[in-house]
Amino acid sequence: MKTDELVSLLAAGEVAVPRRTLPSRLALATAAGLLASTALMLGLLGIRSDLPQAAMDPMFWVKIGFAGLLIVAGLVATWRLGRPGVKLGRLPPSTTAMPVLLLWMLALASLGQATPSQRVTLLLGETWSSCAFLIALLAAPLLASTLWAMRGMAPTRLRLAGAAAGLFSGSLAALVYSLHCPEMTAPFIALWYLLGVAIPTTLGTWLGPRLLRW
Amino acid sequence: MERHGGEKMSEEELRRRLLSGLSGDNRAYHAFLEATGDLLRRYFHRRLVSLPDEVEDLVQDSLLAIHDKRKTYDPALPVTAWLYAIARYKRADLLRRRQRWEQRTDSLDKETALEPSAPEHDEMAGRDLDRLLARLPERQRMAIRHMKLEGLSVAETAQRTGMSESAVKVGVHRGLKALSKLIQGQNA
């Protein structure tokens, strides 16, 4: 087929596109993923029974804020990297780095004030062996739905786009997990929550070139 | 292929036509694609000096991608930034595929060197696409063939095939989607 003919063909059909199809697809994917992830959390783990008291503790809000900022970074990166010619910009990297650095500073301060035996408790809490794994598990449906949304877009940097989808899913999962998680120390969050978000991010980086080609 | 490639359409003209196209103006969209084809051809000619036979295929591949992904255009961006980002991606994708292919077929280099050189690329692209077309369902193929071979309008195609106008449109639309999938599969 000659290129002229291809052009005529493409222009002959329905060429109009409904507005805002991309944002609604991403919103739909996020809602579905979040629903599945929350259902998984409720069915498998349950909400911590002392949530009302925990909500009075500033550390609870540190956790929420940490996850929240990473969610913003992941969402903006996903949205930008999904469209050709849109630059990633400075916001996503700085909104990823800032909460991590702040949390590390908080963790170091808290470790500095503690005795050596307390430090181990601060770092490992009671659930260190399952925390990161459970966040990654809760991130799985979100990663699947976010990658689905991204397949409807047109990412040109596939590894980075996959990483963005992973960061978005992982931090949303961390938010969901914090409704269950009993741990309330900065060192614990700085280590295990970060690892929990890093797992889906790494997985997304690996999956990007495999699932997002078009 | 360079016959309407004389005057380069300005960013502003290109953008206006794309936006009209996206709100349903087929003529404007046609002009946009035509100008984009020229733009892409120039772009790939400069960047695929060692693979001149691939240029026209890549132009077509990119045009299909641009059409398929037209909803990803952000009106806040220059059209050319969007177009060239897609072109760059399609070119990188082609080079990556060729590299992989060459690694697999390294030992056959001597034999392939003996084969006659590739025929004129338009003819080759035609044969390829005709073969792919043959794999589409009847209704989609009919719709595409009538509008392609005879350059008929939607209404005329509907009359000849006995399909409704919307069925023709849907047939062309779905056929093109399937076609672009087949092309991807073939290139993978």
Q: Tell me the pLDDT tens digit for each residue of B20-31.
A: 999 999 999 999
Interhelix angle for A194-211 vs A158-178, to 10°? 140
* Per-residue pLDDT, B6: 47
Contacts of A3 in chain B (CB under 8 A): 1, 37, 56, 59-60, 63
* Per-residue pLDDT, B147: 75
* Most confident listed range (A10-24, B55-69, B109-123, B170-184): B55-69
Helix (H) or strand (E) holding A98: helix A91-113
Cβ neighbours of B137 (radius 10 Å): 11
CATH of B120-188 among 3.30.2010.10, 1.20.120.420, 3.90.1150.10, 1.10.10.10:
1.10.10.10
Tell me which of A165 and B125 has the higher pLDDT.
Answer: A165
Convert A42-61 to b/e letters by CB count within 10 Å (16 or more is b): eeebeebeeeeebeeeebbe
Residue of B nearest to A3 (CA): B60
Cβ neighbours of B151 (radius 10 Å): 13
Question: What residue ranges of chain B are covered by domains with CATH 1.10.1740.10?
Answer: 1-104
Work out the minimum CA distance from B105 to partner chain A, whole angstroms: 22
The DSSP string of A105-171 is HHHHHHHHHS-HHHHHHHHHTTTHHHHHHHHHHHHHHHHHHHHHHHHTS--SSHHHHHHHHHHHHHH
Residue of B nearest to A4 (CA): B34
Is A7 close to B126, i.e. CB distance below 8 A?
A: no
Work out the minimum CA distance from A27 to partner chain B, whole angstroms: 16
Q: Give the list of residues 6+ apart from residue B145 with CB closer than 8 angstroms, or none.
A: B133
- In whole angstroms, what is the distance from residue A158 CA to residue A173 CA? 22
Radius of gyration of the CA atoms of chain B, in A: 18
Using the structure block, give the residue that is written with the tokens 């390294």: B106
Interchain contact B71–A (C-beta under 8 A): yes
CATH of B1-104 among 1.10.1740.10, 3.90.1150.10, 2.60.40.1180, 3.10.20.30:
1.10.1740.10
Question: What residue ranges of chain B are covered by domains with CATH 1.10.10.10?
Answer: 120-188
CA atoms within 13 A of residue A129's CA, in its CB half-sphere: 1
- In whole angstroms, what is the distance from residue B176 CA to residue B150 CA? 17
- For residue B145, name the pLDDT band (cuts at 50, 70, 90): confident
- For residue B83, name the pLDDT band (cuts at 50, 70, 90): very high
* Per-residue pLDDT, B150: 61
Contacts of B147 in chain A (CB under 8 A): 8-9, 12
Average pLDDT across chain B, whole number: 79
Nearest CA among A155, A9, A183, A17 for reference residue A86: A155
- In whole angstroms, what is the distance from residue A112 CA to residue A123 CA? 12
Per-residue confidence in pLDDT tens, chain A, 214 aa: 788 888 988 898 888 888 888 999 999 999 999 999 999 999 999 999 999 999 999 999 999 999 999 999 999 999 999 999 999 999 999 999 999 999 999 999 999 999 988 999 999 988 988 999 999 999 999 999 999 999 999 999 999 999 999 999 999 999 999 999 999 999 999 999 999 999 999 999 999 999 999 9
* Per-residue pLDDT, B127: 58
Q: What is the mean pLDDT of residues B157-169?
A: 78
For residue B63, pLDDT beyond 60: yes
Query: Which among A6, A13, A85 is the nearest to B63, CB-wise?
Result: A6
Cβ neighbours of B161 (radius 10 Å): 18
CA atoms within 13 A of residue A213's CA, in its CB half-sphere: 17
Distances A2 to A9, A107, B47, B151, B179 between C-alpha atoms, Å: 11, 64, 21, 13, 15
For residue B101, pLDDT beyond 90: no
pLDDT digits (tens, 9 = 90+) for B106-124: 555 544 444 444 444 454 5
Work out the minimum CA distance from B185 to partner chain A, whole angstroms: 10
Interchain contact B148–A (C-beta under 8 A): yes
Contacts of B77 in chain A (CB under 8 A): 85-86
pLDDT digits (tens, 9 = 90+) for B29-52: 999 999 999 999 999 998 888 888
For residue B144, pLDDT beyond 50: yes
